[in-house]
Structure 1
Amino acid sequence: MMMNPHDDMLDDLFAMARGEKPVPGDDLVARVLADADAIQPGVVTAATTSQKGLWPRLLEAVGGWPAISGLAAATVAGIWVGIAPPSSVEDMTASWIGDEVHVSLFSADLMLDEGALPDG
């Protein structure tokens, strides 16, 4: 790094400034302490809030009502696809697992079997 002749004078000036420790005057210290004494009685501590319950804390942690509504929509969609999957999902599942198995929730055969319905 090239030094300029003016840099030497500037370095000397900075060295002199570092050597002098600034000391505040007694009148400044007295005024600051008087201001602090005047303001201190007006300082009020923050009121403590009541402890929130589990559900409000969980709601806040998830992200509020918009996030809960998104989770509810995803849950309903997952149940819907689980109960009545599209054919593409059934084909993909069959290719992974092997045999395709159908489970009918409302089987007409089950309802029409003899003895399945009560008499009367």
Structure 2
Amino acid sequence: MTERDLDNLDVFFDAARRQAADPSPDLMQRVLDNALAEQQRLAAQAAPQARPQRAARGLLRQLLSAIGGWPAVAGLATASVTGLWIGVNPPAAVSTTAEAYLNSGADTYLVDLMPGFQFDDMAEG
């Protein structure tokens, strides 16, 4: 921009500064009337309305609601059946990993878990 363009803009800025910035009283009155009408409409909507009484919920329905409804029950049932199946008939990879992790083998029944306990003392008494 040149100096001449800036001088031309100053004329417009001076005119804007001299103009009154207050809105007309008629505009302000219409805005307030609309605001009051909207407040009254919202207050009427927010008024408490009579709700129908619900029947008391049973214990099973409360339990289902607490855990997430029937989709959650289906997930729990699926996980339970899968866990039971893997426990009864484990795949070879699971049993090998469990034996390595728990350090158990075929001779684990030979370990004396209570070396200080004598069984023959119980037989005499």
TM range (shorter): 0.3 to 0.5
